[in-house]
Amino acid sequence: MFTRRNYIVVLLFAMILIITGIWIVRIISGQPLYLDELTRTFAKEVAGTTIYTVFRWITELGSSTFLTPFTIIVSMLLWRAFRDWLPALVFVLGTLSSHGLNILIKQLVERERPSILVAAHAEGYSFPSGHAMIPMVCYGFLAYLLAQKLHSSKKAVVIQFALALLILLIGLSRYVINVHYLTDVLAGFIFGFIFLLGQIYVYKWLRAKWT
């Protein structure tokens, strides 16, 4: 039974999806996005500053160079910790699938980046940000699994908060170093969160079916 709180959550979620859809339509039709026009100044002003340098390092935590070995190592640790192949398998497949979905959406929208930076893995199309979308799935599902494993609710909350903060900083780093528009990052978070919810649902379904 839906409560008032459920209705509010569904309404907010629907509004976010509608706004994202409007962004996509405007991008494809070649129209500017007002939010990006309002936020371009900051990204240009921090170039060459300490803030830029810090976020330039943070952005590497969402790169394929880091996430590929990270995903492999963590999957093996999950297999050992849970003594079950399912968490590890869903973790790996979820991360890989989110990468594939991100590429597909980029190819469909075909938005050019504000700037190209090969050293920061910033090539190709811009919308949505892979550094926002893929870490949301990778670190988000890891936070979910760790919360299930830990017996202490306080430790679970700390880990979830830390990983949520990491996801936020990695995504925002792409805006700060000027290789994505802010709407690219926000859309990456949105698509990544939706994917993460689906991933958790599939994991729960498989676990109930096979255990």
Q: What is the pLDDT of residues 93-152, one digit of tens each?
A: 999 999 999 999 999 999 999 988 877 777 889 999 999 999 999 999 999 999 888 877
Q: Is 151 helix (H, G, I), strand (E, B) or coil?
A: coil
Contact 147, 156 (CB under 8 A): yes
Total structural domains in the chain? 1
- Rounded Cα distance, 92 and 88, in Å: 6
194 CB-near residues (< 8 Å, 6+ apart): none
pLDDT of residue 115: 86
pLDDT at 8 over 90: no
pLDDT of residue 122: 77
User: Position 46: which residue type?
Assistant: V
What percentage of the chain reaches a pLDDT higher than 70?
Answer: 98
Question: Which residue range(s) make up the domain with 8?
Answer: 4-210
Query: Prior bond to 32 cis, omega within 30?
Result: no
pLDDT of residue 2: 61
Cα 185 to Cα 34, 126, 140, 156, 182, distances in angstroms: 15, 9, 16, 26, 5
125 CB-near residues (< 8 Å, 6+ apart): 106, 107, 109, 110, 111, 112, 113
pLDDT of residue 149: 82
DSSP H stretches of helix in 111-152: 130-149
Q: What is the enclosing helix (H) or strand (E) of 46?
A: none
pLDDT tens digits, 146-171: 988 887 778 889 999 999 999 999 99
DSSP letter at 122 equals B
∠ at Cα 45 (42, 51), nearest 5°? Answer: 85
User: Position 157: which residue type?
Assistant: V
- Stretch 169-195: mean pLDDT: 96
113 CB-near residues (< 8 Å, 6+ apart): 122, 124, 125, 126, 179, 180
39 CB-near residues (< 8 Å, 6+ apart): 175, 181, 182
Contact 150, 159 (CB under 8 A): yes
pLDDT confidence tier of residue 13, bands split at 50, 70 and 90: confident
Residue labelled with tokens 């935590």: 61
DSSP codes joined into one string, 57-91: HHGGGGSHHHHHHHHHHHHHHHHHHHT-HHHHHHH
Phi, psi torsion values for 117, nearest 5 degrees: -140, 95
pLDDT at 4 over 80: no
Picking from 171, 179, 67, the residue whose alpha carbon sits closest to that of residue 119 is 179
pLDDT of residue 211: 66
